[in-house]
Amino acid sequence: MLVKWIRCTVVDRRGFERGQRKWAGLLGEPGFRGQGGGWSRRRPEVAHVFGFWESRAFYDSFMARAHDRLAAAQSGTYKDIEVKLFDHRFDVKTGFEPRFTDADVVRVAHCRVHEERVDHFALMQEKVWNPAMAGSPGMLRGVFAEAPGHEFLVLSMWQSAAEHGKYRADRVERLSLRAQTETDVAALTGDVVQLDVDWTV
């Protein structure tokens, strides 16, 4: 499965939201699995969108055909767009499905990992972080994905911002020490995204 992450700074919020609803046109595209997104809880002008495709081939075919027509509706409503593609490596919890309707927030963590620490980082995600998240109340599901250049994306979906906040307060520092995250990771950026139900496809 291919995971697409889009982050942009929005200059016309109402126009952007109107355009975002036009992405309902993705339904019926071969290989399309689902899309959702919303606004950063820390920086209200930043929007995040997460899209899921069965494979790179299906995604490339869509980009060559229908993408520009759908994207035209949002032209001029944002700046500083960043688009990244990742390959699914494993689920956080089990049975990941790209559904957004039962979640309130998505936590996104984007990690650049030192080349010689990639295997250790992935192992710690599997053995330390995944069980901790899977056992946390309110954590629904998530995905761990990789891009060339030792980049990783960890997405986790939560029933509420409060549940995610409790997990952060209780566990993150301790888990980080156990997983030797500071030794593995060269750079880490993250955000908590308040999902907007109207953006779900």
**Nearest one of 32, 23, 74, 65 to 196, comparing CA atoms:** 23
Residue 8 pLDDT level (bands cut at 50, 70, 90): very high
Residue 74 pLDDT level (bands cut at 50, 70, 90): very high
In this prediction, residue 171 carries a pLDDT of 85
Q: Is the per-residue pLDDT at 1 higher than 90?
A: yes
Instruction: Indicate if the alpha-carbon torsion angle 167, 172, 174, 175 is positive or negative.
Output: positive
Average pLDDT of the segment spanning 6-20? 98
Percent of the chain with pLDDT over 70: 100
The type of residue at 104 is D
Average pLDDT of the segment spanning 5-24? 97
What CA–CA distance (Å, rounded) separates 62 from 16? Answer: 21
Instruction: Indicate if the alpha-carbon torsion angle 102, 47, 199, 147 is positive or negative.
Output: negative
Other beta carbons within 10 angstroms of residue 14's beta carbon come to 9
In this prediction, residue 68 carries a pLDDT of 96
In this prediction, residue 169 carries a pLDDT of 80
Fold of 2-199: Alpha-Beta Plaits (3.30.70)
In this prediction, residue 26 carries a pLDDT of 97
In this prediction, residue 172 carries a pLDDT of 87
